[in-house]
Amino acid sequence: MPVESDAELRELLGLRTVAVIGCSTTPEKDAHEGPAYLLEHGYEVIPINPNAEEVFGREAYDSLADVPDDVDVDIVDVFRPSEEVDGIVDEVLEREDVRVLWLQLGISDPEAERRAEDAGIHVVSDRCMKIEHQRLHAP
């Protein structure tokens, strides 16, 4: 069952380590602005970008598979086209620590999402983590 309720979203937003697949070095892009917001709000951001050595002064990994096993990943936040979600889910399922697959606005792959859910992973689809955090944690 996909994550829908505000209570579920609040709980998932309480997790603190986020691997951002497609994290951008370009400040004007949502894939940079969203993760920057998360950093500013106390999240540990792990950039995944095969074209960058680092983002936000943090080591950037080529793929989720390249993040060391001793680094716990709570949430995988995806800023890649929907066509890539199936392969990303394959990488998510290889890890034992991922609890949430978060697909940004405009990104979805129902079949891949179902595979993740069947493995016990919470799936948030077609929503922006930054927008949901602002909406649910606004004073």
> In this predicted model, what pLDDT tens digit does every residue of 57-92 receive, in sequence order?
999 999 999 999 999 999 999 999 999 999 999 999
In the predicted structure, residue 4 carries a pLDDT above the cut 80: no
Quote the percentage of the chain above a pLDDT of 70: 97
> In this predicted model, what pLDDT tens digit does every residue of 13-32 receive, in sequence order?
999 999 999 999 999 999 99
Does residue 128 lie in a domain region? yes
Structure tokens at 70: 């001793």
Does residue 80 lie in a domain region? yes
Which CATH number belongs to the domain containing residue 26 in this structure? 3.40.50.720
Does residue 100 lie in a domain region? yes
pLDDT value, residue 57? 95
Structure tokens at 28: 């004007």
In this prediction the pTM is 0.95
Domain count across the chain: 1
Domain residues for the domain of 41 are 6-137
